[in-house]
């Protein structure tokens, strides 16, 4: 799965079976959010995954990256807590 760094927006690929291990961004070294999404992060995570899949279908790796960013924005818009 992919996790986006909250500090520099770098997309980091981590193993799906990482469990509760917390990874650092390979670009800036900041801690990445936990792979297990809390309820408040679910919509953003879904948007990220959905956007990445959509972008990959459109334009390969670059499209996936753009799609992921768009997906995060969509996910944030979907949040109900404003
Ligand atoms: Zn980073």
Q: pLDDT of 42-54, one tens digit each?
A: 677 777 777 777 7
Taking the centre of ligand 1 as the mean of its atom positions, its distance from the CA of residue 80, in whole angstroms, is 27
Taking the centre of ligand 1 as the mean of its atom positions, its distance from the CA of residue 32, in whole angstroms, is 8
Considering the domain architecture, whether residues 10 and 31 belong to the same structural domain is answered as yes
pTM: 0.39
Taking the centre of ligand 1 as the mean of its atom positions, its distance from the CA of residue 22, in whole angstroms, is 13
72 phi/psi in degrees, rounded to 5: -65, -40
Q: What domain range is 30 assigned to?
A: 1-37
Number of domains in the chain: 2
Taking the centre of ligand 1 as the mean of its atom positions, its distance from the CA of residue 81, in whole angstroms, is 26
Taking the centre of ligand 1 as the mean of its atom positions, its distance from the CA of residue 65, in whole angstroms, is 15
Considering the domain architecture, whether residues 79 and 46 belong to the same structural domain is answered as yes
**Token couple for 72:** 């995060």
Considering the domain architecture, whether residues 61 and 26 belong to the same structural domain is answered as no
Mean pLDDT of 34-45: 62
Specify the higher pLDDT residue, 74 or 24.
24
Considering the domain architecture, whether residues 25 and 46 belong to the same structural domain is answered as no
């Amino acid at each position: 799965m992919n996790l986006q760094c909250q500090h520099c927006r770098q997309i980091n690929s981590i193993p799906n079976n990482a469990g509760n291990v917390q990874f650092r961004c390979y670009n800036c070294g900041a801690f990445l959010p936990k792979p297990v999404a809390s309820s408040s992060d679910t919509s953003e995570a879904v948007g990220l995954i959905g956007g990445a899949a959509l972008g990959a279908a459109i334009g390969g790796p670059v499209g996936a990256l753009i799609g992921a960013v768009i997906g995060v924005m969509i996910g944030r818009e979907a949040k109900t807590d404003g």
